[in-house]
Amino acid sequence: MNVIDVTPRPAALSAIVRFLQSPLMSIVGVLFILTALKWGTLLFVVHQYETAIVTRFGKIIRTVTTPGLKIKLPIIDKLQRFDKRILAWDGPPTECPTKDKLYIIVDCFARWRISDPFLYYNRLNDERSALSRLDDILGSETRTAVAAHDLVEIIRVTKGRKPLRDAELEKSGTLLPSSIPDVEFGRGEIEKQITERTRQKIADFGIELLDERFKRSKYNPAVAEKIIERMSSERHQIAARFRSEGRGEAANISGQKESDVAAISSTATKNALEIEGRADAEAASIYAAAFNPPEAQELYTFLRSLDVMRAGFEKDTTAVISTNSELGRLLKSMAPASAAPKPTGP
């Protein structure tokens, strides 16, 4: 049984109904749906690593945390995507003084994530604003922590560290006066303090700070140059002390060498003189034993006289000699021997 609506309608309404039911409007509707699907105004995809917030005229109407294909109203609904993964913050290097009045440049980095997308969107809206707020809060907390501790607390981690010693220097008895001050907290504890204080301050922004670390700590270039000069001066002083001790040790060795050489030379000279004295004594005894007989004494006297004559008459010499002297008698006795004719052959 067919039911026919015979209720009278206004002419304008009838015209609108006929227009909407026309083939042209069907084509326009299909094009609209295809355009909405193409440009993401109707459907959107939420990935596993993100959270989506759908807003209508700037007001949040729902938060999508599960991944998949989702639907929203075209044009009037806006989509905001937020990353659920761990994000990085790498702040600018900050110059700040330590408790012991040393200016250093501290470069830090941190890891954070969005814990409450609803609060994050209302307070910060985007990642750029979040990084800017982290710059302010983390930079302030870092400067405060560095100013409250000495430089050794910022640099070192281990407690009870002992200085290294050179075994060769210990053997020689020369040791550098070195000592390492102990730390009360250390760099790791200071980083934890900064993380906890910053975490409390940024909780109202829907952000969770996982950790904060010092990436690099260095001196200000102007201060670093002075520190290098001071370290160089200290090394030069130590080297000068080593040279002075070396020269003193060399002088001691040289003096000991000269003393040993003098002692050896003195002993050798003493032994040589003793040997020479014993040799002279033995030679004298030999000479005495050789010249003790009368014939030997006469021969010795004769030879000595010849030596005297040879020395006295070596050049043209005129001498007056008595015939009663030993030399005169010797010459007189030698005259017949020199005047004897030479034997001639048969």
User: pTM higher than 0.85 for the full model?
Assistant: no
The answer to whether the CB of 54 falls within 8 A of the CB of 41 is no
How does the average pLDDT of the chain come out, rounded?
79
Q: Who wins on pLDDT, 118 or 10?
A: 118
- pLDDT over threshold 70, residue 35: no
- 248-271 tens-digit pLDDT: 889 899 989 988 998 999 899 989
The answer to whether the CB of 219 falls within 8 A of the CB of 104 is yes
Q: Which of 246, 216, 240 is nearest to 109 (CA)?
A: 216
Q: What is the largest CA-CA distance in the chain?
A: 210
**Non-local CB neighbours of 178 within 8 Å, separated by 6+ positions:** 163, 165
- pLDDT over threshold 50, residue 6: no
Band the pLDDT of 246: cuts 50, 70, 90.
confident
Copy the structure tokens of residue 228: 């290098």
Copy the structure tokens of residue 35: 């355009």
- 173-204 tens-digit pLDDT: 555 556 677 778 888 899 999 999 999 999 88
Count the Cβ atoms, other than its own, within 10 Å of residue 198. Answer: 22
Q: Is the dihedral of CA 317, 319, 325, 329 positive or negative?
A: positive
Count the Cβ atoms, other than its own, within 10 Å of residue 113. Answer: 14
- Which amino acid appears at position 142 of this protein? T
- 81-123 tens-digit pLDDT: 889 899 999 988 888 888 888 888 899 999 999 988 888 888 8
Q: Who wins on pLDDT, 73 or 104?
A: 104
- Find the mean pLDDT for residues 126-153: 90
**Non-local CB neighbours of 162 within 8 Å, separated by 6+ positions:** 180
The reported pLDDT for the residue numbered 346 is 47
